[in-house]
């Protein structure tokens, strides 16, 4: 495993190249390790589509290449990464390999319905509302998720919510409920990001976005651990941040995308609600609140 001082040195060099020399090399990489999923959320079109699945040799090669390109921060997504298997290997082996290569932070996005027993990674667990609302979207899973979080191999776990019509009314209740569990280091969120027809049916209309963002910001000011810097709040509220983000990549078994899979779809990008991308955009714009936010999220 790489020493902390080496990691800080790599971060400092990258920050200098990116923020001072304005180079656009990638740092954060996501791997869509599989599209297999045990759930069936109504807004999700990628689950079980049979398009995305890495074998063990393929995922090792993808990690090698990402590391060579300069990526040091990594997340796994899906589908459900905890379901991934290949030739007797599971996500534990992939995380261990990424650690061996020298990635600094490793996050696993998960629906939380499997034991969170992978060591040496951070989990981002999707819970789509307070219990009653979550259960309408992901039936029969809420108690199981909290039980798995309680027994997780790491204590660095974030709750994450995708906000749409079905759950936007309850964000205050959600923040209270997640905080009361005492299980989460923070609460992250996305605004449902999709094709315009899907947003019309399930998403937050652009005109309602400022009010939602203001409610999230109020919660943050009240002391709830919402992962949201002041700069990102403003950028999301006004939807005026610079995109795509070339410092982020997303890797599938077919292609390496800059930013995310929707980079070729301007209709989706123009109303992007991926809050983490907005935070990165604010870091690149040297906003102090965003720099502080990322230190809080990744610091131990
Ligand atoms: S848990 Fe995630 S991958 Fe599975 S159906 Fe829901 S949104 Fe899609
Ligand atoms: S929707 Fe567009 S702007 Fe948003 S993360 Fe994807 S590529 Fe980037």
Domains in the chain: boundaries: 26-298
Q: Are strands 256-258 and 186-191 parallel, antiparallel or unpaired?
A: unpaired
The rounded Å distance from CA 113 to ligand 1 centre is: 11
38 pocket-lining for ligand 1 (C-beta < 6 Å): no
Cβ contacts of residue 79 below 8 Å, gap of 6+?
32, 33, 34, 35, 36, 37, 46, 47, 48, 52
With a pLDDT cut of 70, the percent of the chain lying above it is 99
DSSP 153: S
Q: Round the CA-based radius of gyration of the chain to a whole number and report it.
A: 18
Q: What is the pLDDT of residue 284?
A: 82
State the Cα–Cα distance between residues 174 and 253, nearest whole angstrom. Answer: 35
CA of residue 272 to ligand 2 center, whole Å:
6
pLDDT at 299: 58
Ligand 2 pocket: which residues have CB below 6 Å?
193, 243-244, 259-260, 262-263, 268-269, 272, 274, 277
Ligand 2 centroid from CA 153, angstroms: 32
What atom in ligand 2 is closest to the CA of residue 263?
Answer: 7
Answer whether 179's CB lies under 8 Å from 225's CB. yes
Residues of the chain with pLDDT under 50: 300
pLDDT score of 283: 85
Query: How distant, in Å, are the alpha carbons of 124, 191, 251 from that of 172?
Result: 20, 15, 34
Q: Do the Cβ atoms of 251 and 29 come closer than 8 Å? A: yes
Could you tell me the distance, in angstroms and rounded to a whole number, from the CA of residue 162 to the centre of ligand 1? 11
| CATH topology classification for 26-298 | TIM Barrel (3.20.20)
How far apart are alpha carbons 149 and 147 in whole angstroms?
Answer: 5
CA 118 to CA 127: how far, in whole Å?
19
Which residues lie below 8 Å from residue 80, measured CB to CB, with a gap of 6+? 34, 36, 37, 38, 39, 110, 111, 113, 114
What pLDDT shows up at residue 295?
74
Pocket test for ligand 2, best of 203, 243, 267 (most atoms within 8 A of CB): 243
Question: For residues 95 and 121, is the Cβ–Cβ distance under 8 A?
Answer: yes
Q: How many CB atoms lie within 10 A of CB 258?
A: 14
- Give the pLDDT score at 75: 96
How does pLDDT run across 207-222, given as a tens digit for each residue? 999 999 999 999 999 9
143 Cβ neighbours under 8 A, 6+ residues apart? none
Kindly report the CA angle at 127 between 124 and 128, in degrees rounded to 5?
Answer: 130
Q: How far is the CA of 259 from the centre of ligand 2 (A)?
A: 6
pLDDT, tens only, 128-166: 999 999 999 999 999 999 999 999 999 899 999 999 999
Q: What is residue 288's predicted lDDT score, i.e. its pLDDT?
A: 84
The pTM assigned to this predicted structure is 0.93
For the chain, the farthest-separated pair of C-alpha atoms sits apart, in whole angstroms, at 51
Residue 257 burial (CB count, 10 A): 18
């Amino acid at each position: 495993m790489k020493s902390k001082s080496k990691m800080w040195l790599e971060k400092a060099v990258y920050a200098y190249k990116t923020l001072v020399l304005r180079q656009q090399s990638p740092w954060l990489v996501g791997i869509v390790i599989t599209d297999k999923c045990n759930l069936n959320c109504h807004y999700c079109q990628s689950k079980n589509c049979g398009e995305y699945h890495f074998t063990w040799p393929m995922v090792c090669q993808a990690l090698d290449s990402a590391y060579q390109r300069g990526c040091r921060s990594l997340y796994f997504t899906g589908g459900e990464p905890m379901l991934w298997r290949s030739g007797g290997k599971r996500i534990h082996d992939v995380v261990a390999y990424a650690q061996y290569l020298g990635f600094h932070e490793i996050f696993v996005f998960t629906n939380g319905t499997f034991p969170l027993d992978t060591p040496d990674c951070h989990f981002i667990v999707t819970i789509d509302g307070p219990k009653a609302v979550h259960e309408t979207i992901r039936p029969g899973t809420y108690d199981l998720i909290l039980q798995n979080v309680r027994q997780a191999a790491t204590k660095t776990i974030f709750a994450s919510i995708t906000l749409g019509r079905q759950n936007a009314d309850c964000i205050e209740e959600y923040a209270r409920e997640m905080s009361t569990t005492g299980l989460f280091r923070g609460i992250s969120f996305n605004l449902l990001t999709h094709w315009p027809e899907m947003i019309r049916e399930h998403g937050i209309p652009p005109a309602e976005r400022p009010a939602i963002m203001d409610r999230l910001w109020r919660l943050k000011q009240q002391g709830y651990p919402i992962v949201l810097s002041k700069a990102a709040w403003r950028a999301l509220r006004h939807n005026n941040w610079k995109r795509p983000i070339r410092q982020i990549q997303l890797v599938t078994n077919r292609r390496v995308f800059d930013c995310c899979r929707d980079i070729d779809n301007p209709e989706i990008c123009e109303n992007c609600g991926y809050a983490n991308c907005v935070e990165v955009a604010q870091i690149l714009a040297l906003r102090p609140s965003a720099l502080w936010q990322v230190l809080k999220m990744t610091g131990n």
